Structure 1
């Protein structure tokens, strides 16, 4: 019954809300444990574990679960669709959040975080795809996904502010309530997604032409109940033709994704290379130190000699600075371009991390050098929020071909969760063993990030998802076919403008 009037701007706003809240959960989940894991009520509740690996394992268990589920999504993502995957993910998080907030032992809280990890994988594999494929103009895609990723960072900052407030208490509510809040977000995201359609590109890929036409007409705001020929609207017809032609090219045997093409890609559309880039760019993103900073930001400020109160306050402020940086991405991602933003912010982050490493590894530290090391994290967090949250999350899904977009997106998330697990779990143990030298790792990867984008990542800014295929196509015949569709689309638009 909502089909008659949930369309156009209302449809896009609801999809933005649902996906943004879904991404907020990922950020909230990443930050909330870091704010409570060292508090006495939390440690008392789980039996005061003594092993150096226990807390890092609790913190990173959901990332390992998410890495596993990302592999599963490669197999079931296309049959289920983007919409149903997001709904399933929110259901996992709602259940896992309840179990986690009610935990009284290490095994129980690990099981709960594994359930949340399954849910996070479903959401993060599909939200960027969903928002990218629901866009009708190339210039919409970047800001829409950047808004979602800004919500992710808002979730991180929100988790620290909530735990900052609740951990002033000394009872069990101090850590159980902050963890339970994620259930509210999961319900909001999941319920709102129920009233939304799947993407038109998914319907066309599944050969459900009527639903694809109907969804496109709802996006354009021209849907009328009982009308069956929405595909005759010129804008819808042009977009549908573009999608279908590209999908037919992608379906050809020469462009099929194989295990060999993931290593050595000779397909005309460079399908394997594009999936490989999707994995690597997000693996690099997670190796740039952000997870260790999020989980151990309070510890960084405590090492300066601050009280727990001031350390928690500064940690919350620094993560808010990161969120502010992500807002800049929303307004610049289409004007400056993904490639340039990622390259130049990686340069600045490398300089900040170099200063941080040098100051932290000095043989004779002073209060001034410790303060300087802590303060240099503020510009680092700002520029990371600007260049290395929204852009990499968007880049993988938008460069992957429609036929394999769920695989490209899931491969990227596999990179996220595998390297998140490594940095959080290994980083937690490294703090106890090698100390500040662990920051050399993210320093190296910040430099690698610049080189990787420079040599491996063409810029899809201001191109439709179908036009992106031409960026990677090397076969001249295939390139001519793709350009022919684009030229036809441009010609039809020029005729419409002239009339």
Structure 2
């Protein structure tokens, strides 16, 4: 079988990562479609349980993913981005088996915890894998937009599978939809076994030959002596050097200040803190709340019961469709612009929606509120679903990208857990006033992006480091005002150092820099 190379290799990587994220979306939505199905209730023993039982079953998945995201930061760098994705898919298969064979609430929750562990691994590693394997600057945006389409697309797939199977009144009607998620894990995990890890991870682990080989495959060149490989490797090693020099300024006390006090030259702590808070804020804006509880939300708008089931499926499709334009526009428009104007528009839409659900309902007002909600979800899918994953992967420093991925996933799943657990309780006790909580998330997002998030589009991952640098020259490099060669010469002049900036590969090599050392 011929080796897949070049653009075809990157397309394959995008498809496999997208399949993992579709499993994530499918798993998030599949249980919601069977929770009120009588054969499921009878088998699990939900009849007569308290009001906290269903939220706990749903949110145990999110809580497990949150805990996993914290733990995975301690070992993900050792096993790599690829290894973390494979481990997540294996755990998903185990969780699927436990859930689909459940005959008690406890067994179901254990299965949900396994799949939560799986999604914690996948969500922390996949965006990083896609960002680090993109060779061209314009690769990262469309790749992560495609990932978002697959993620949100998994939710309506789960809904419509549930919708079809729950027409039956037997045990297969809910067990088979749960089994179906294992297909995504088998495809993604099985294919990932035959793919390499990222060149940046290989270089960070001092595995230079493997890094060169992966770059040669991605660039589609027969020789590792290709000048393009030399250039990419040099940039990566320079970034590693800068980050290693910044290590001396790192201290755990600075994390307590949430990045406000950050003495590191490259603002490493602030960047990792942004990775945590950004997805948390997105969940605050109602992302998972609307995916998990679409039926409850539509019921509260005054829609008739006969329409709610059908409209829930349409709502999730609209959410997924919002991600499609992002694929074509993110590199032209830029991340910051999309995030800022998206938040502004969502604030306006949410204010109008709250007014509509607060006033006495009739048919016209109900349909208007549903239309507003769907427009809000479309904008959220476009502006925040894929862009946040991408932005957090881009701003994470290479030496700490596994921690950045873990922080992103932790923020995502902590926010999901809180909203999924509290959501139905909030709607029951507060009614339409609960939407002010969602509105406050949008109001927080606007200044967060404006003051803390510089534009990363059009720059390599290594140039993003310089956006947060205290010194002026690296920032000029990031803006394209100086070449990195000129910067290196200037640094050498200022330091008046005879130290070698790079170490030669070996006596047989072409002298390509292997590792930047001081």
State the match for 1:346 in structure 2.
343
Instruction: Give the C-alpha shift of residue 34 in structure 1.
Output: 1.7
- Counterpart contact for 1:350–1:447, Cα < 8 Å: yes
State the match for 1:408 in structure 2.
404
- Counterpart contact for 2:466–2:477, Cα < 8 Å: no
Instruction: Give the C-alpha shift of residue 306 in structure 1.
Output: 4.9
State the match for 1:145 in structure 2.
144
Q: 1:3-18 residue pairs with structure 2 within 5 A?
A: 5-18=3-16
User: Residue 240 in 1 paired to residue 233 in 2?
Assistant: yes
Q: 1:256-271 residue pairs with structure 2 within 5 A?
A: 257-262=250-255, 263=257, 264-271=261-268
Instruction: Give the C-alpha shift of residue 171 in structure 1.
Output: 1.9
State the match for 1:358 in structure 2.
355
Structure 1 residues 308 and 102: CA distance shift in structure 2, 3 A: farther
State the match for 2:206 in structure 1.
207
- TM-score (normalised: structure 1): 0.92
Taking the aligned partners of 2:241 and 2:124, their CA distance within structure 1 comes to: 24
User: Residue 435 in 1 paired to residue 426 in 2?
Assistant: no
- Counterpart contact for 1:255–1:268, Cα < 8 Å: no
Instruction: Give the C-alpha shift of residue 303 in structure 1.
Output: 4.1
Correspondence for 1:454 among 450, 461, 468: 450
Taking the aligned partners of 2:403 and 2:193, their CA distance within structure 1 comes to: 24
Instruction: Give the C-alpha shift of residue 274 in structure 1.
Output: 0.5
- Counterpart contact for 1:147–1:327, Cα < 8 Å: yes
State the match for 1:197 in structure 2.
196
Taking the aligned partners of 1:452 and 1:394, their CA distance within structure 2 comes to: 16
Taking the aligned partners of 2:481 and 2:208, their CA distance within structure 1 comes to: 19
Worse-superposed segment, 370-379 or 181-190: 370-379
State the match for 2:291 in structure 1.
294
Q: Aligned with 2:216: secondary structure?
A: helix
Q: Aligned with 2:158: secondary structure?
A: helix
State the match for 1:20 in structure 2.
18
- Counterpart contact for 1:242–1:486, Cα < 8 Å: no
Tell me the matched-pair count: 482
State the match for 1:36 in structure 2.
34
Instruction: Give the C-alpha shift of residue 463 in structure 1.
Output: 0.5
Structure 1 residues 172 and 207: CA distance shift in structure 2, 3 A: same
1:160-183, Cα deviation, whole Å (9 max, x unpaired): 121121222222222212111110
RMSD (Å), alpha carbons: 2.1
Q: Aligned with 1:75: secondary structure?
A: coil
- Counterpart contact for 2:395–2:465, Cα < 8 Å: yes
Unpaired runs of 5+ in structure 2?
Answer: 488-518
User: Residue 122 in 1 paired to residue 144 in 2?
Assistant: no
State the match for 1:494 in structure 2.
none
Q: Aligned with 1:66: secondary structure?
A: helix
Taking the aligned partners of 1:354 and 1:347, their CA distance within structure 2 comes to: 11
Taking the aligned partners of 2:477 and 2:296, their CA distance within structure 1 comes to: 56
- Counterpart contact for 1:288–1:443, Cα < 8 Å: yes
Instruction: Give the C-alpha shift of residue 370 in structure 1.
Output: 2.8
State the match for 1:282 in structure 2.
279
Taking the aligned partners of 1:186 and 1:305, their CA distance within structure 2 comes to: 39
User: Residue 319 in 1 paired to residue 316 in 2?
Assistant: yes
Instruction: Give the C-alpha shift of residue 286 in structure 1.
Output: 0.7
State the match for 1:95 in structure 2.
94
Unpaired runs of 5+ in structure 1?
Answer: 224-229, 492-499
Structure 1 residues 209 and 370: CA distance shift in structure 2, 3 A: same
State the match for 1:54 in structure 2.
53
